[in-house]
Every structure is written in structure tokens, then in C-alpha cells.
């Protein structure tokens, strides 16, 4: 009897966890939709509200970066840049974040943009700079 109760409690806990994860995934999808859609003040406000839900139980920074894209597309470059800087502080090896910061910061802070662009070149060097053989015969 005790084993059945324990199994039921564990099943309910697992179901609750999955519900929370599903809500977070849907919120992240809405944020991505805002980044891909034409700039819309209401959609941007909704995406900002969804960020807390999307990141509550999931440490992924993609929703924050997608929200920054939506903000930048709406002309809120400094707000987007600040959000991306937060991500780069959390994940100093995130090449996507530095690439976005490089692009966005060019609109309001050339020094920050230069620093971010330099970091991108370190994290993701151009393919030609790898100095590897092209695989072709030199004969």
C-alpha cells in the first residue's frame, strides 16, 4: 500500500514538472516568434513578459537572445544590447551572443561593438584563418 502511494506521489510530481517545462517551452516559442515577426509593440511587451516563464526552470539563454533580437528590430538597440551583455557575462564562450552584440552595439556604442566583434573572432575564427589544407593535391 505504501509503495502505491509513493508511486502515485512520484507520478504527480513528474507530471507537475512536465507541465512547468511545457509552459516554459511555449513561452520560449512565443519569444522566438516575436523575434521573427515584424516589430509590434504589443508582441514585444508580451515577449518581455514571457521571458520569466521561459527561463524559470530552464537556464537556456536563447529566449533572452531572441528577445534582444526582437528589441533590436523594434529599434531599442541599447535595451537589446544590455540584455545581450547580461548573456555574455553568464556565458563568456557564447559566440552567438557576442555576434549579436557586435551587430547591435554598432548602432549605439562603437567601443562595445569593437570589443564584441573581436571576441567573436576569437570564439569563431573565420574559416580561412584555420590554415588547414584544402584537401587538394599540390602536384
Rg of the chain taking only CA atoms, in angstroms: 21
Residue 16 pLDDT class (50, 70, 90 cuts): confident
Residue 31 pLDDT class (50, 70, 90 cuts): very high
Q: Give the residue extent of every domain in the chain.
A: 19-125
Please give the CATH topology (third level) of the domain spanning 19-125.
Answer: 1.25.40
- Between CA 19 and CA 73 the distance in angstroms is 32
Backbone conformation region of residue 113, classed left if phi is above 0, alpha if psi is from -120 to 50, else beta: alpha
Chain segment 46-82, per-residue pLDDT in tens: 999 999 999 888 889 999 999 999 999 999 999 999 9
- Between CA 83 and CA 64 the distance in angstroms is 7
Q: Which three cell numbers, joined as nine digits, stand for 50?
A: 514571457
Q: 5 exposed, middle or buried (CB, 10 Å; 0-12, 13-18, 19+)? A: exposed
Task: Report if pTM > 0.85.
Answer: no
Amino acid at each position: 500500500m505504501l509503495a502505491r502511494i509513493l508511486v502515485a506521489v512520484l507520478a504527480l510530481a513528474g507530471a507537475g514538472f512536465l507541465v512547468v517545462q511545457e509552459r516554459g517551452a511555449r513561452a520560449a516559442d512565443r519569444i522566438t516568434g516575436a523575434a521573427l515577426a515584424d516589430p509590434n509593440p504589443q508582441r514585444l511587451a508580451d515577449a518581455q513578459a514571457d521571458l520569466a516563464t521561459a527561463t524559470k526552470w530552464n537556464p537556456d539563454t536563447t529566449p533572452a537572445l531572441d528577445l534582444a533580437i526582437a528589441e533590436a528590430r523594434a529599434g531599442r538597440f541599447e535595451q537589446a544590447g544590455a540584455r545581450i551583455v547580461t548573456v555574455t557575462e553568464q556565458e563568456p564562450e557564447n559566440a552567438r551572443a557576442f555576434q549579436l552584440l557586435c551587430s547591435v552595439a554598432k548602432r549605439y556604442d562603437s567601443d562595445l561593438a569593437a570589443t564584441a566583434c573581436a571576441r567573436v573572432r576569437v570564439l569563431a575564427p573565420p574559416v580561412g584563418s584555420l590554415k588547414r589544407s584544402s584537401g587538394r593535391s599540390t602536384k
